[in-house]
Amino acid sequence: MNVKKKMTAILMIAIFMISTLAMMIPVNAMPSYPYSYSTTIQVDGSSSYLVVNVTENGEWVTWEFDFPVEDFIGDGNLNVGLIIALDGEGEGPAFQVHNNDGTDSSFDWGTWLVSPWGPTISDGWNGWHSGDTNTEVEDLNWITASGDRKGQGTDGILTISINKAKLKRNFFWAASPTVGSGFYSPMYDTTMQVPTDFGWATPLVDMDEPNYILAQIRLPTPKPKKHGGPTYYDGISPGDMSTTPHKLISVNLRDGPIDTHYYVTVLIYGEDSALVYGNTFFVRPKASRLSLYLHESVFPDNYIVVAFCDTGPLPYLVASRSGIERSG
């Protein structure tokens, strides 16, 4: 077999392997974009329902809590605490967004605040700092929040939007909406949890319960550097390289198109062919290599990388600080 025929055979085998692997992936293992989530929760003591909707819209993810205030009598209080966790199983949340229910006396009741968690569960009360360390939402450019705490005469809708720059492709969230005192019919005071197994005393992510909801979103494809070829940073910034554990996927583009712009897709599969990462990157003509830096947490213990463009699979190597881990 001559060299040309041999290369053709290798290419056909590689394409077949990629196609076979894709067919083996369960449909429910593939993220559905854009992300959305909806649920209704019966407000204890009444026949009315709280409606929770989460939507991914451009550069933002938005949570809407629609309280059925039209069914209540009195001038009660509406509160919500939205908890965001970024680091996965066994780890604590990153921060909480809440409209002050009086926990922090430094701010007026109903002021929208962001408080950090931790950094450990022994810091503060189970890691929470909503009573002592807060920043007003209006002073931050990556989050917006709206809605009145007092229910009477309002639409009963509390809304929080977080810019994707503060999130990860896979992140976890939970919420604690409260219908507070002041309503006297048909109910008086009740706290709900989303999901139902979330608890303030058990803030670490435990998806066996589960006490958080997993969200999978699309992050904007970073623009390549204008020098040194196409280099991308996804989930990590260049300024964090010296302190943040990361890995480099280097894709050899020798078999890519040479006379046109094109796109390269990089997929990472974990146990049971579960897709843990996927993104598509823009490449200029005649580029020789694509460099993709990812946070180390993206990679499970056992993983497979697949890189390809319109013309077929592309060779790659994965490197960490300890050296080259694997190639394909």
Beta bridge partners of 216: 170
> What's the pLDDT tens digit per position in 201-224?
999 999 999 999 999 998 865 554
| More confident of the two residues 287 and 177 | 177
Which of 269, 274, 277, 258 has its CA nearest to residue 216? Answer: 277
Measuring CA to CA, how many Å separate 210 from each of 55, 155, 284, 298? 21, 31, 44, 21
Mean pLDDT across 81-104: 93
Q: What is the pLDDT of residue 45?
A: 76
3-class DSSP state of 273: helix
pLDDT for the residue 220? 65
User: What pLDDT band is residue 88 in, cutting at 50, 70 and 90?
Assistant: confident
Burial class (CB in 10 A: 0-12, 13-18, 19+), 182: middle
Strands 246-252 and 304-309: unpaired
pLDDT band at 8 (very low <50, low <70, confident <90, very high): very low
Q: Is the dihedral of CA 195, 170, 158, 138 positive or negative?
A: positive
CATH number for the region 220-327 comes to: 2.60.40
User: In whole angstroms, what is the distance from residue 91 CA to residue 93 CA?
Assistant: 7
Residue predicted with more confidence, 106 or 230: 106
Strands (E), 86-133: 95-99, 112-116
Compute the average pLDDT of residues 219-243: 68
Determine the average pLDDT of the residues in 3-23.
Answer: 46
With cut-offs at 50, 70 and 90, classify the pLDDT of residue 7.
very low
With a pLDDT cut of 90, the percent of the chain lying above it is 41
Give the span between the Cα atoms of 242 and 153, in whole angstroms.
53
What number is the average pLDDT over the span 165-194? Answer: 86
* Contact between residue 121 and residue 199 where contact means Cβ atoms under 8 Å apart: no
Which residue in 111, 143, 123, 118 sits closest to 205, CA to CA? 118
The owner of tokens 């990089």 is 266
- Span 190-203, average pLDDT: 94
Q: Report CA dihedral (202, 204, 205, 211) to the nearest 10 degrees.
A: 10
Domain ranges of the chain: 36-216, 220-327
303 alpha carbon, distance to own chain's centre: 20
- Model confidence at 190, pLDDT cuts 50, 70, 90, reads confident
- Structure confidence at residue 21 (pLDDT): 45
